[in-house]
Amino acid sequence: QGVGVGFSGPDSSQSIALVNLILSGLVVVLLLLALPWRRMRWPVPMPWDIFRRVSYANLRMVCPEVYAMDSVVLEVTQLEPSKFGNVKSEDATLPLQELLEWAVAHPYTGYKGGIARLVGKILWLDSENPDLTSEIAGFNDIDLIYFLQDGEEHKKDEMKALVDQGLTIGGIPVEAQDVEYSYDTVGNILATRDLTQNQCIVVSDGDGKVFLINAKICREHMLRSMTGPATASEVSTLDDRGNVIARPRVVGRALVQWMKGRARHIELSQHTTSFYKQQKLPKMTMFQIFAKAKGNEMYMKVYTELVRLGFVEKQQYPHVLWGECYAHVNSLIARHGYRLELESELNSEAVERWKEAKYAEQLSRTRVSAFRDFRFHHLVLDESFLVPYSLADTALTHSLKMHTTGADSSEHPSHAHLAHLRQIRSSAAMHVEGGSIISLTGFEQTQVGRTFEMGGSEDEGSRTRTLRRAAFQSSKTRRRAARHCRPSAGAEPLWQAHLHGSLGFLAAFLVNCVAAVLYILVINHLLGPFWLLAAAATSLLGAWLFIRSANDAMLNVLTAMYLALLNIKTEAFTTRMFSEVWSRLVGDTRALQGVLEACNDLSIESLTVLGTLFAILGLAASAPSCDSKPVWNALFVAFSAGALMAAMSLLACFSLRSNSRLTRSMIGYMYADMFSTLSNFFEVKSMAEKFASAKATYEEIQDANLEQRKKLTLIHQLMQIFLRYTELACIMLAVYKLFHTTTAGTSAECLHSYSVFAVSVPILLSAIRRACEALLQLSSSIGSLERLFLLSRALLRMATPRFDGINQLSGDVVLEIPHEFTYCLGSAQFGPFAKIPALAAAKTGQLNVMAMPRSSGATTFAKLLLRMHDAPAKIKLNGEHVEHYELETINFSVHIIDHAPLPCSVARTPGQGSSIGEYVQMGLDDMGMPLQPCLEQAGIWSKVVNLPNGIESTDWASNMSKPEALRVQLAQAIFRISLGAVRLLLIIDPLRNCNECELESARMTWTKALEPL
């Protein structure tokens, strides 16, 4: 006499519950077996972590761990060239005796790399040792080193000329890129090598002797057939948790040595191994490894080892990985207009440029790492750390030790070696001397976590800090942003806003807990129905607290990302980034808010589930005299239904997550295409082919996007229907069985308990359903959150510090370029190059002219002066190199007037989209010179007043000639100078684009405008 199909049997509810549990188990097993499970790599640190409150006093310098088998005293072995002769293998003959005799004939020259390793292995290993055989067979070039002292530049030039003319030693050609000119000590040379087996060198002295000099760890590793990263800061970095690990490049170098049979084992630290198992080797490093693999057998050997180590994902077709790496590297080179060539040659001059660019990049990367690691971990890798290798001062090595004491002149013109750059007494960020942190800057006074107008290391009340605060306040007033910031002049640290946001979320959670308790008490009849109003009011308060905290958190996160964007390296910003950043920081705010709301709903419904469950169990325990079988039967049904709903929701979440990521990627692509199209609106309007192409592209992308959204919505709707009807069926079954099993003689107390159970079970199932729906909603929006994380991590890795150097330009400013130099903008061999001439001291109070041919690099010189590019030890301001000044000080003190298109700017003309008043005065009209005098001094006022809309014109650059638009930039410079912070004005080619008949008048106009300055 059951009611409905399936309810007639005595154990129907248990059977259905068991079926639910079996289906749930199958779904979980399917997820475990079918999905490629990977740990979700949470991008640590996140961009808003940069605003955490940290103290300079808590800073701790860390350095790589020294090998236990190493020693600071270098081992020296005198060599007799006549005892070596020719070294032969199956396919190669190496004239080792002739190579050693050449070093003896050329004092203070020697060999590093393969020849030095070979000499060491001949001395220490058996002749049949496979490592020695592989070393001989793998020999392919000569790595030459030449130790010089100050004043011996002529010797360097002679050697460079000799190499470029085709120097051969023993019939083996010497290539320019394989020659190193060092002003450093032997100890520092070995301490800065990349691998332990490379910490050896063959070098001659002035007395006709030649030596093998090696670190102890080099000999020990060769005897044990091992290799590993050397103990050097240059080949180390910090991971996301502050542990010292080896850089990818040196890991790749170690794998290449292993692949070529020069070692049978690779010694890596535990942190290094763990990091690359999680993050995998970058494609550039894999390219460097696979490019050295000769033949399929060697390729598969190293591929199998990388998979075993967990450094790469296993591929269905292993050789596809080489193609992906090759394409990746080729895409990086193609941006300079070249293609990848595996075999290429460089002359000595190109090698010098390549090395200087390499060391400049390393210096820039060091500053970024110190800035980021200091903020995130209170840890900074001590870049000045070197293992203090030294030669014992004996009669045998006295001549060599005296010659290679290292150059100590900071004015040396070559700066060709990183060790020499290290000896310059830098005033840039932090370094260590004698175990103590030394800083000549205001880095430690930097107020961490301040908003736009704060954060500088200048003294309170200084002009630059006043200008920064005024600019921030002006922007708030004009953009109506005051209601999003604190009323205390915007001086509240963002880390405090982050703290308030965290406390707000906690308060919202606690208030929701109180609402859930009130709700459960009403269900149990411990409180009257009117208390539901109190529960509703409490829930409303929790919702208000959550929304406020969510807005604070989103403001903090998005502002932090925007600051990270503004702080990225100039060369890292491209126009293609514009659409991605815009969509993340502007278009995705609603999606991000939806993610937070889904998290809040999930927590609320989870509380409701737990509260209802505790209420049911508590009531069952308080009425032991009643028959508990129907209660446990109902709970079993509810549990099985909840398990099924959770398992199916989890299965759907992976599909929704995948579709969400694909949808966001397609939207990002559509943003990029729209930006590209609208940026060339005139061309699209005037060319039928571009018009048709733009229309077809948009239609295809939008159609695919809508199709993907349809799939996303369909999965979501299907799961909602499944959850709703599963809940309804289980409620009917559980409640029916609960009342069906009660007898006529049941006591009133038990009937009361059963009625409470009958109310609680539907509430429990409904809460489980809503929690699953919140999880589905979260998965539908997770694509936006993941792309935000990826963009955040990318911005952080490209961020540069603004407050990490000398923070003031005192006295009269003197600009100086001691020596002319060439800066490489692309290929070290083919260019393009910027040729910067020498400049005698340019002083305050006069017009200083530096003559450069057009297209020779004047704009690049401006970038170098503004620290947009790095060229260490080239340009001086007040006797200090430009890179020693903090970026904020440079930006306040130097003003550049250049021709459009401006460097790294999406705008095609200066001031695009701004009125003349906004562009010239930057919203600070109440602080500096009035607008009209600025324009009059620049000689452009008469033109401005005749423009449509006058000073309110926003398309003024299009209605002016190029020389006139350049004078509007001059007016802006005059206004900035009147503010009192600009100390140096650099004008690039002011008479460019002037007609022949206009040259004299333009020259007089500029002279008249600049004379008061």
Give the number of other CB atoms < 10 A from CB of residue 992.
13
Contact 175, 113 (CB under 8 A): no
Contacts of 549 (CB under 8 A, 6+ apart): 500, 501, 502, 503, 504, 505, 507, 508
What is the pLDDT, as a whole number, of residue 449? Answer: 33
Question: CA-CA distance, 648 to 19, in Å (whole number)?
Answer: 14
Looking at every residue in the chain, the average pLDDT score rounds to 76
Alpha-carbon gap, residue 680 to 758, rounded angstroms = 67
Q: Are 600 and 546 in contact (CB under 8 A)?
A: yes
Which tokens in the block code for residue 286? 């894999």
The residue that leads in pLDDT, 177 or 347, is 177
Return the higher-pLDDT residue of 253 and 582.
Answer: 253
Return the pLDDT at 808: 76
Q: What is the pLDDT of residues 942-976, one digit of tens each?
A: 888 888 888 888 888 888 888 888 899 999 999 98
Lowest pLDDT segment from 25-29, 191-195, 750-754 = 750-754
Contact 815, 838 (CB under 8 A): no
Q: What is the pLDDT of residue 479?
A: 45
* Residue 457: other Cβ atoms inside 10 A: 24
The DSSP element (H or E) to which 214 belongs, if any, is strand 210-214
Going by DSSP bridges, is the β-strand pair 265-266/226-227 parallel, antiparallel, or unpaired?
parallel
Tell me how far apart the alpha carbons of residues 894 and 986 are, in angstroms, rounded to a whole number.
Answer: 8
Provide the pLDDT confidence category of residue 215 given band limits of 50, 70 and 90: very high
Q: How far apart are CA 270 and CA 250, in angstroms?
A: 16
Give the distance from CA 505 to its chain's centroid. Answer: 29
- Kindly give the pairing relationship between strand 60-62 and strand 379-381: parallel
- Is residue 450 within 8 A of residue 493, CB to CB? The reply is yes
Q: Averaged over 719-731, what is the pLDDT? A: 85
The 3-state DSSP class for residue 674 equals helix
How far apart, in whole angstroms, are the C-alpha atoms of residue 1002 and residue 992? 10
Distance of alpha carbon 944 from alpha carbon 955, whole angstroms? 11
CA 868, CA 622: separation in Å to the nearest integer?
Answer: 74
pLDDT at 300: 92
In the numeric block, which tokens belong to residue 507?
A: 């308060």
10 Å CB burial of residue 227 (0-12, 13-18, 19+) is: buried
State the Cα angle at 24 between 19 and 26, rounded to 5°.
Answer: 95
CA distances from residue 510 to 497, 498, 502, 543 in whole angstroms, order as listed = 20, 19, 13, 11
What backbone phi and psi angles, to 5 degrees, belong to 144? -100, 145
Mean pLDDT of 696-720: 86
Amino acid at 659: N
Task: Provide the angle, in degrees to the nearest 10, between the axes of the packed helices 114-124 and 216-223.
Answer: 60
Where do the H-state alpha helices sit in 35-105?
96-105
Distances from the Cα of 977 to the Cα of 233, 802, 971, angstroms: 43, 21, 10
State residue 222's pLDDT score: 93
Cβ burial of 1004 (10 Å; 0-12, 13-18, 19+) is: exposed
Segment 98-114 mean pLDDT: 89
Whether the bond into 130 is cis, omega within 30 of 0: no
CA distance 367 to 416: 20
Model confidence at 251: pLDDT above 90? yes
The CA-based dihedral angle spanning residues 63, 67, 70, 73, taken in that order and rounded to the nearest 10 degrees = 0
Instruction: Tell me if the bond preceding 963 is cis, omega within 30° of 0.
Output: no
The C-alpha atoms of residue 523 and residue 532 are separated, in whole angstroms, by 10
In this prediction, residue 357 carries a pLDDT of 65
Torsion of CA 683, 686, 689, 692, to 10 degrees: 90
**Stretch (H or E) spanning 834:** strand 831-836
Kindly state the tokens that stand for 683. 């061309």
pLDDT at 480: 42
- What token pair was written down for 684? 């699209």
pLDDT attached to residue 471:
59
Alpha-carbon distance of 511 to 519, in angstroms, equals 12
- Closest to 236 in 3D by CA, of 223, 250, 226, 215: 250
Q: How do beta strands 831-836 and 821-827 pair? A: antiparallel
Highest mean pLDDT among 159-163, 223-227, 539-543, 555-559: 223-227
**Is 575 a residue whose pLDDT tops 90?**
no
Question: Is residue 851 classed exposed, middle or buried when 0-12, 13-18 and 19+ CB atoms within 10 A define those classes?
Answer: exposed
pLDDT category, 980, cuts 50, 70, 90? confident
Over range 600-609, report the average pLDDT. Answer: 82
Least confident of 467-476, 915-924, 936-945: 467-476
Band (250; pLDDT cuts 50, 70, 90): very high
* pLDDT tens digits for range 841-865: 887 888 888 888 888 888 889 888 8
Residue 201's pLDDT band (cuts 50, 70, 90): very high
Average pLDDT of span 47-51 = 52
What pLDDT is stored for residue 57 in this prediction?
Answer: 54
DSSP 59: -
pLDDT at 760 > cutoff 60: yes
Beta-carbon contacts of residue 249 (< 8 Å; ≥ 6 apart): 194, 235, 285, 288
pLDDT digits (tens, 9 = 90+) for 807-846: 777 778 889 998 888 888 776 667 788 899 998 888 788 8
Task: Give the model confidence (pLDDT) of 427-480 as tens digits.
Answer: 334 444 443 434 443 333 333 333 333 344 455 556 655 665 665 555 445 444
Find the mean pLDDT for residues 554-572.
75
The whole-number average pLDDT for the span 162-187 is 83
Q: Which residues of 540-557 are buried (b: 16+ CB within 10 A; e: fewer)?
A: ebbbebbbbbbbbbebbb
Nearest to 196 by CA among 229, 220, 232, 234: 229
Helix (H) / strand (E) element for 876: namely strand 876-877
Main-chain dihedrals φ then ψ at residue 776, nearest 5 degrees? -65, -40
DSSP 8-class letter at 894: E
Q: Which of 342, 758, 690 is nearest to 523 (CA)?
A: 758
| Beta strands 143-147; 179-182: pairing state | parallel
Checking if the pLDDT of 24 tops 70, the result is yes
Q: Using one digit for the tens of pLDDT, what is the confidence trace for 136-146?
A: 887 777 889 98
pLDDT at 4 over 60: no
Query: Would you state the pLDDT for residue 430?
Result: 42
Q: Residue 48's pLDDT is what? A: 52
Per-residue pLDDT at 528 exceeds 90? no
Measured between alpha carbons, how far is 494 from 498 in angstroms, rounded to an integer?
6
**Total residue length of the chain:** 1013
What does the pLDDT read at residue 937? 92
Phi, psi (degrees; rounded to nearest 5) at 512: -65, -35
> Rounded CA gap, 276 and 254, in Å?
14
Amino acid letter for position 718? L
CA gap 440, 743 in Å, rounded = 88
Does the structure show a pLDDT above 60 at 641?
yes
The set of residues, in sequence order, having a beta carbon less than 8 Å from that of 482 and lying 6+ positions away, is 476
pLDDT category at 334 given cuts 50, 70, 90 is: low
Cα separation, 991 vs 86, in Å, equals 67
The CA distance from 357 to 249, in Å, is: 17
Better pLDDT: 72 or 34: 72
Do 882 and 875 touch, CB atoms closer than 8 A? yes
Residue 701 phi/psi, 5° resolution?
A: -65, -45
pLDDT category, 199, cuts 50, 70, 90?
Answer: very high
Residues 6+ apart with CB under 8 A from 230: 191, 192, 193, 194, 195, 196, 198, 199, 250
Q: Characterize the bridge pairing of strands 880-881 and 876-877.
A: antiparallel
- Mean pLDDT over 10-39 rounds to 65
Cα pseudo-dihedral 378, 384, 389, 393, rounded to 10 = -130
Output 251 or 993, whichever has higher pLDDT: 251
pLDDT at residue 246 in the model: 92
How many angstroms separate the first and last alpha carbons of the chain?
104
Judge whether 929 and 974 are in contact, CB under 8 Å: yes
- pLDDT value of position 163: 86
Beta strands 265-266 and 244-246: pairing type? unpaired
The pLDDT > 70 percentage for the chain reads 74
Does 354 have pLDDT greater than 70?
no
Kindly tell me if the per-residue pLDDT of 206 is higher than 80. Answer: yes
Tokens in use for 302? 């190293």
In which band, very low, low, confident or very high, does the pLDDT at 214 lie, cut at 50, 70 and 90?
very high
**Alpha-carbon span 139 to 88, nearest angstrom:** 11
35: tokens are 């999905």
